[in-house]
């Protein structure tokens, strides 16, 4: 039967794709005498990519996941405008200030400390109020590191809307802030009094950015390494492969723990450490594609034309390898996010105080009496990873050659 | 021959449904096969002949393919049989031999096991009885020393032997009808002649009916008594072989008959300057073995070839597959490494760096066999043709490049407006024209043609030959024409080089050589190609 389907396909192709893909006959602009007036299609998507996009859209779950994810990502990219302990805009004494972009000394507003203005400080607020300043705040008046000075209970404190009369009575009796005067903590505070919602927003952004950067950088390295191995083959391939085998047999996690206890872990240090190992993932895939592709006749034809190795790899072979790579990327990204969360959870990740979802989860473990910590962390991570996986599935469908050429 | 009918197909239509659309592959055909008769189905690729063959055994994917009409075999309608009853027919009463011997046998099982399976299924033969019958059919199909071959795996056999094993499997249960679906297309001409002789002989001996599917009219004339010509899913003409060949009625049949490439080779140019020569050109692939990968021997793809091409002539290189003809072409262009001097217009090419090689790359081009594999599916036709210009004519503006692309497309007879399309929108013949355009756009003086017509239909082949000849005359091109198809070579080559096992068997003026081949091997090659006659034992491989 296999034999048959192949002949069939050849038959279809040989008849000019009469039954193959008639809907893809591109519209050609009316040609001039030399056919010169026909516009090249360089600025449009090729029919192949249009078909892929249609396949992607056909997977409704993946398609909506992509939109949902993009909206979340773009919104959290502007986290400073959603959750911030500085006003977005102040009109004070006939002058305009943008605390969200610039740091102003509090002397600007009549205070006398000379330090950076703390707009949540009641003392500074009195100066602002006196001058009838116009302030525009973000919807959430906490940043990820802002500590709530007026909590209704000891930290971690409950989401404000969950407080009942008993809690209010307790707060009044023990000298905590009265229920009527509270600032809203929609998802409560963590054990250091920081707003969980603000930390979640910043944490989501950090995780996605970290995953994105790690994925892109490790893909670039991995693809380059795989391409060189696959295209040149022989000794290059042999030595590189052995090196990778040794490299991947290094116990990753332990090494990460050791390095992160020596170096002060920051965003870029962590990125570098994880990069040491994550680039290997795509190498085998790309290498196999290049090994397969380098003997295609159109590659031979390009070599006969005198096209240089670099150009052949980039223009002819890379597009082939990209299909396999693209299919993999969302999964690489979700596992990058997971690694970061896991390291943070263990306490070997981002420096203390960073808005990290892993740290939120580890706090939840330490404070079982405060379920809002665990639930927030869990749902955020679960949503993010699920969306990435759904998108990945749709991408896989989109690049499925059986669907593309069907 | 009796008049009793073996197979009777009436108004058979087959439609394929994919993503909501229905395509009619076979459109209301009717034909009969009498007991002991051989009927040939002829047509171009896509005409529906293979689909017809598969539908007789009901091997088409069931919900996607919709049959209507009737296929009556020994009084029962095969289309109405249950799947269970159908399985009893398959492999017992009706058997099939496919085109590709490389993939038709399971590579993981021995020959004995594969033939034994059919015997067990339909006859319940086991153990010694099965073995005896297996040896019997293997000797029937001319496998020498069959008892020792039982434990062989498919990869240990040559292509011709594999096809013999396939036939043995088909014959094991003495079927009433054997369907041969292009059984020789993937084989060398010499082996093809042997397989056809074998099928004819067995058919006569077992008094079996044969449905022979092919695109090659030469084979039809040789094996069949009656012929049905198919086009676009319809039988446009049928009749006895003599009648159809001597007085074809349908215009399509006439076109098919006239599709023989017109022989009009470029004249030899004994006084023209030598364009390209090689001296003792060797391409040896090392065979390594053992833990330390020590080189224990070599596969000698080209073993000391000395050739000289004069400007404006066509050197035809012929030989069976594996004789090293393609290797020679690629070695000359330095696409694979080789030993021994190669000189182009007196300039040595061996050892040149990539940069030093560039000016010669412009002069020497190649056209490959597979029109589907040789064009990048991700580039538009214009980009594909333009690629060489970008390397060799960096000073040209985009517009000038475009003009050259248009010129090249006009040269090969394609509409320049098609240059924004992608290769998958073209037919095989058109794609091959694009591949030629990619070569000629650089205005080379030498082109290696590596089986440029082998993957094409007969009618297209003839057009391709005309195009190549026309280009040669217009641009004074020199060709190295590699092919196993001697009819095409005879139409183009001014001189001929016969190769075997990486060595030159014979060479000389083409017209002279075709008339008086000197060696047995060349004679066998010619008689197999032109008359489908087998050679005496030992001259060619099996």
pLDDT tens-digit map of A222-279: 999 999 999 888 888 999 999 999 998 988 778 877 887 788 778 888 888 888 888 8
Number of other residues whose CB lies within 10 A of the CB of residue B388: 25
* Residue A26 per-residue DSSP state: -
Residue of B nearest to A1 (CA): B59
Least Cα separation, residue B519 to chain A (angstroms): 34
d(C-alpha A351, C-alpha A338), whole Å: 17
The answer to whether the CB atoms of B335 and A301 lie below 8 A apart is no
Least Cα separation, residue A291 to chain B (angstroms): 16
Residues of chain A with pLDDT below 50 are 1-42, 406
- Using the Cβ of B245 and the Cβ atoms of chain A, whether some distance falls under 8 Å is answered with no
Angle at B292 between CA B288 and CA B297, to 5 degrees: 25
Q: How far is CA B282 from the centre of its chain?
A: 27
Residue A215, C-beta contacts closer than 8 angstroms, at least 6 positions apart: A329, A332, A333, A336
Half-sphere exposure of B33 (CA within 13 A, CB side): 30
The answer to whether the CB atoms of B368 and A297 lie below 8 A apart is yes
Is B326 in a helix, a strand, or coil?
helix
The answer to whether the CB atoms of B403 and A34 lie below 8 A apart is yes
Residues 196-215 of B with CB under 8 A from A: none
Alpha-helical segments (H) within B264-422: 325-332, 354-363, 381-392, 398-411
The answer to whether the CB atoms of A7 and B99 lie below 8 A apart is yes
The answer to whether the CB atoms of B424 and A406 lie below 8 A apart is no
For residue A22, what pLDDT is reported? 36
Q: How far is CA A243 from the centre of its chain?
A: 30
For all residues of chain B together, what is the average pLDDT? 85
Residue pLDDT, tens place only, A39-72: 444 455 666 778 888 888 888 999 999 999 999 9
d(C-alpha B234, C-alpha A65), whole Å: 49
Mutation to test the A interface, candidates B335, B368, B387, most A Cβ within 10 Å = B387
d(C-alpha B181, C-alpha B211), whole Å: 8
For residue B150, what pLDDT is reported? 86
Tokens representing B423 are 């290769």
- Using the Cβ of A52 and the Cβ atoms of chain B, whether some distance falls under 8 Å is answered with no
Residue A132, C-beta contacts closer than 8 angstroms, at least 6 positions apart: none
Which residues sit opposite A116 in a β-bridge? A105
Is B402 in a helix, a strand, or coil?
helix
Q: Please list every residue in chain A whose beta carbon sits closer than 8 Å to the beta carbon of residue B62.
A: none
Q: Please list every residue in chain A whose beta carbon sits closer than 8 Å to the beta carbon of residue B391.
A: 305-308
For residue A266, what pLDDT is reported? 82
Q: How far is CA A146 from the centre of its chain?
A: 24
**Residue B301: which of B335, B325, B337 has the closest Cα?**
B325
- Using the Cβ of B372 and the Cβ atoms of chain A, whether some distance falls under 8 Å is answered with yes
* Residue B273 per-residue DSSP state: P
CB-based contact A223:A325 (threshold 8 Å):
yes
Across the beta sheet with B177-181, the strand order is B94-97, B177-181, B209-214, B38-42, B226-231, B234-240
Half-sphere exposure of B380 (CA within 13 A, CB side): 22
Task: Count each helix (H run) and each strand (E run) in chain B, helices first.
Answer: 20, 20
Number of other residues whose CB lies within 10 A of the CB of residue A96: 9
Sole residue written with tokens 């030498």: B446
Residue by residue, pLDDT tens for chain B (542 residues) are 445 788 899 899 888 876 667 788 888 899 989 888 999 998 887 788 888 888 888 888 777 788 888 888 888 888 888 888 888 888 888 988 887 777 788 888 888 888 888 888 888 888 888 899 999 888 888 888 888 888 888 888 877 888 888 888 888 888 899 999 888 877 777 888 888 888 888 888 888 899 999 888 888 888 889 999 998 888 999 899 999 888 888 988 888 888 777 777 878 778 888 888 888 888 888 777 766 677 777 778 888 888 888 888 999 998 887 788 888 988 998 888 888 889 988 888 888 888 888 889 888 999 988 777 888 877 888 888 998 898 888 888 888 998 999 999 998 888 888 888 888 778 888 888 999 999 999 889 999 998 888 777 778 888 889 899 999 988 889 999 998 888 888 888 889 999 888 888 888 888 888 888 888 888 888 888 877 777 666 666 65
For residue A403, what pLDDT is reported? 64
Cis peptide bond N-terminal to B422, omega within 30? no
- How many Cβ pairs closer than 8 A exist between chain A and B? 146
d(C-alpha B33, C-alpha A317), whole Å: 51
For residue A205, what pLDDT is reported? 93
Q: Residues of A219-241 as b/e, b for ≥16 C-beta within 10 angstroms?
A: bebbbbbbbbbbbeeeeebeebe
Q: Please list every residue in chain B whose beta carbon sits closer than 8 Å to the beta carbon of residue A310.
A: none
**Residue B15: which of B48, B37, B43, B45 has the closest Cα?**
B48
> For residue A290, which phi and psi values (nearest 5 degrees)?
-70, -40
- DSSP assignment of A62-73 equals HHHHHHHHHHHH
Is A25 in a helix, a strand, or coil?
coil
For residue A45, what pLDDT is reported? 65
For residue A240, what pLDDT is reported? 92
């Amino acid at each position: 039967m296999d034999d048959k389907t192949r002949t069939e396909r050849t038959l279809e192709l040989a008849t000019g794709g009469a039954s193959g893909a008639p809907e893809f006959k591109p519209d050609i602009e009316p040609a001039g005498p030399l056919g010169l007036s026909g516009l090249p299609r360089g600025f449009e998507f090729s029919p192949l990519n249009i078909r892929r996009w249609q396949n992607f859209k056909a997977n409704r779950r993946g398609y909506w996941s992509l939109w949902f994810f993009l909206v979340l990502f773009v919104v959290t990219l502007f986290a400073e405008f959603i959750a911030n302990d500085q006003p977005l805009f102040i009109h004070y004494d006939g002058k305009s200030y943008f605390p969200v972009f610039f740091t102003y000394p509090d002397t600007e507003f009549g205070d006398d400390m000379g330090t950076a203005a703390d707009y949540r400080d009641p003392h500074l607020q009195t100066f602002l109020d006196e001058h009838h300043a116009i302030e525009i705040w973000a919807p959430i008046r906490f940043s990820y590191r802002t500590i709530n000075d007026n909590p209704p209970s000891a930290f971690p404190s409950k989401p404000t809307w969950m407080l009942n009369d008993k809690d209010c009575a307790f707060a009044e009796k023990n000298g905590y802030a009265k229920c009527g005067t509270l600032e809203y903590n929609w998802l409560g505070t963590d054990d250091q009094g920081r707003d969980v919602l603000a930390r979640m927003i910043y944490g989501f952004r950090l995780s996605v950015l970290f995953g994105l950067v790690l994925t892109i950088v490790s893909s670039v390295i991995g693809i380059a390494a795989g391409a060189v191995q696959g295209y040149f083959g022989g000794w290059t391939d042999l030595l590189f492969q052995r090196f990778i085998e040794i490299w991947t047999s290094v116990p990753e996690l332990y090494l990460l723990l050791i390095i992160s206890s020596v170096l002060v872990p920051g965003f870029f240090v962590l990125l570098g450490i994880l990069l040491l190992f994550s680039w290997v993932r795509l190498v085998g895939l790309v290498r196999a594609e290049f090994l397969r592709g380098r003997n295609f006749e159109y590659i031979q034809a390009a070599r006969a034309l005198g096209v240089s190795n670099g150009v052949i790899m980039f223009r002819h072979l890379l597009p082939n390898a990209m299909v396999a790579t693209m299919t993999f990327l969302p999964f690489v990204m979700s596992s990058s996010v997971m690694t970061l969360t896991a390291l943070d959870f263990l306490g070997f990740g981002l420096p203390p105080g960073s808005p990290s979802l892993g740290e939120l989860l580890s706090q939840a473990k330490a404070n079982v009496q405060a379920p809002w910590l665990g639930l927030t962390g869990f749902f955020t991570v679960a949503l993010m990873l699920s969306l990435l996986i759904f998108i990945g599935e749709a991408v896989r469908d989109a690049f499925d050659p059986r669907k593309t050429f069907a | 021959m009796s008049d009793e009918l073996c197979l009777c197909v009436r108004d058979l239509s087959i439609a394929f449904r994919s993503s909501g659309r229905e395509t009619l592959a076979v459109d209301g055909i009717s034909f009969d096969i009498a007991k002991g008769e051989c009927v040939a189905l002829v047509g171009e690729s896509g005409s529906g002949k293979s689909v017809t063959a598969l539908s007789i055994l009901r091997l088409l994917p069931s919900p996607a393919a919709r049959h209507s009409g009737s296929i009556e075999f020994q009084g029962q309608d095969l289309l109405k049989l249950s799947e269970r009853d159908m399985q009893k027919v398959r492999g017992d009463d009706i058997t099939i031999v496919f085109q590709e011997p490389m993939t038709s046998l399971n590579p993981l099982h021995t020959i004995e096991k594969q033939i034994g399976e059919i015997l067990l299924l339909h006859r319940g033969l086991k153990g010694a009885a099965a073995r005896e019958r297996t040896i019997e059919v293997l000797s029937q199909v001319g496998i020498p020393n069959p008892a020792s071959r039982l434990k062989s795996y498919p990869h240990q056999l040559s292509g011709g032997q594999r096809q013999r094993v396939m036939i043995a499997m088909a014959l094991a249960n003495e079927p009433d009808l054997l369907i041969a679906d292009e059984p020789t297309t993937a084989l060398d001409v010499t082996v093809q002649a042997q397989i056809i002789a074998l099928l004819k002989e067995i058919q006569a001996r077992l008094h079996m009916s044969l449905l022979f599917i092919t695109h090659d009219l030469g084979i039809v004339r040789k094996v069949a008594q009656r012929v049905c010509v198919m086009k676009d899913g319809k039988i446009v003409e049928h009749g006895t072989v003599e009648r159809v060949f001597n007085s074809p009625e349908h215009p399509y049949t006439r076109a098919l008959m006239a599709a023989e490439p017109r022989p009009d080779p470029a004249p030899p140019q004994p006084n023209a300057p030598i364009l390209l020569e090689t001296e003792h050109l060797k391409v040896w692939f090392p065979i390594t073995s053992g833990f330390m990968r020590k080189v224990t021997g070599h596969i000698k793809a080209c073993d000391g070839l000395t050739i000289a091409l004069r400007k404006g002539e066509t050197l035809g290189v012929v030989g069976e597959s594996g004789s090293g003809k393609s290797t020679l072409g690629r070695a000359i262009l330095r696409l694979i490494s080789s030993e021994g001097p190669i000189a182009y217009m007196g300039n040595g090419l061996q050892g040149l760096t990539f940069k030093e090689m560039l000016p010669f790359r412009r002069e020497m081009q190649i056209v490959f066999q597979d029109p589907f594999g040789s064009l990048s599916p991700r580039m538009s036709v214009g980009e594909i043709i333009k690629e060489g210009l970008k390397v060799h004519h960096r000073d040209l503006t985009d517009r000038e490049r475009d003009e050259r692309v248009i010129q090249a497309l006009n040269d090969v007879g394609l509409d320049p407006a098609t240059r924004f399309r992608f290769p998958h929108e073209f037919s095989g013949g058109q794609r091959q024209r694009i591949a030629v355009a990619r070569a000629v756009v650089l205005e080379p003086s030498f082109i290696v043609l590596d089986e440029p017509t082998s993957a094409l239909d007969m009618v297209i082949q003839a057009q391709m030959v005309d195009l190549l000849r026309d280009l040669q005359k217009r641009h004074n091109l020199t060709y190295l024409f590699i092919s196993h198809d001697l009819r095409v070579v005879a139409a183009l080559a001014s001189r001929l080089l016969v190769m075997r096992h990486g060595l030159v068997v014979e060479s000389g003026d083409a017209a002279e050589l075709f008339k008086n081949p000197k060696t047995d091997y060349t004679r066998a090659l010619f008689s197999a190609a032109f008359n489908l006659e087998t050679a005496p034992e030992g001259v060619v491989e099996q």
